[in-house]
Amino acid sequence: MTEPIPLRCPVCKAGFRGQCQCPRCSADLSRLMWIVALATQLRQQARTALYQGQYQRACHLSHQALEFHATVAGRRLFDISRIMTTVYIEPLA
Ligand SMILES: [Zn+2]
């Protein structure tokens, strides 16, 4: 499984601090920002699915988020979703 890896500037390897431009080498980091935002959105959707008892969906969304940007909190969200998927049977929609 994907382990959390700190994001870095692909040009100079400076730590990513959520800015569209690297403060060290001025590289354009807007695509990195987009990936982080997408992963954040997927985790939020996974949390919503979890609250709604849609455990399979939460598991799928949180796994997608990990593929884009692995974080410790994202890993926990995936683990909880996976456990809920195996423990509870979802009602038929
Ligand atoms: Zn840089």
Instruction: Provide the pLDDT for residue 6.
Output: 82
Ligand 1 centroid – CA 24 distance (Å): 5
DSSP bridge pairs for 8? 15
Ligand 1 centroid – CA 6 distance (Å): 14
Instruction: Provide the pLDDT for residue 3.
Output: 63
Q: Which of 32, 28, 80, 26 is nearest to 58 (CA)?
A: 80
Ligand 1 centroid – CA 81 distance (Å): 36
Of the chain, the percentage scoring pLDDT greater than 70 comes to 91
pTM comes to 0.81
Ligand 1 centroid – CA 15 distance (Å): 8
- Give the integer Cα–Cα distance in Å for 83 and 59: 9
Ligand 1 centroid – CA 68 distance (Å): 20
Q: Which residue has the tokens 């979890």?
A: 50
DSSP bridge pairs for 15? 8
Please report which confidence band the pLDDT of residue 91 belongs to, taking 50, 70 and 90 as the band edges: low
The mean predicted confidence, pLDDT, of the chain is: 90
Ligand 1 centroid – CA 29 distance (Å): 8
Instruction: Report DSSP state, residue 28.
Output: B
Distances in whole angstroms, Cα of residue 54 to Cα of each of 65, 68, 75, 81, 82: 17, 22, 18, 9, 11
Ligand 1 centroid – CA 64 distance (Å): 27
16: phi then psi, degrees, rounded to nearest 5: -80, 130
Domain ranges of the chain: 39-87
**Section 61-66 average pLDDT:** 97
Instruction: Provide the pLDDT for residue 92.
Output: 55
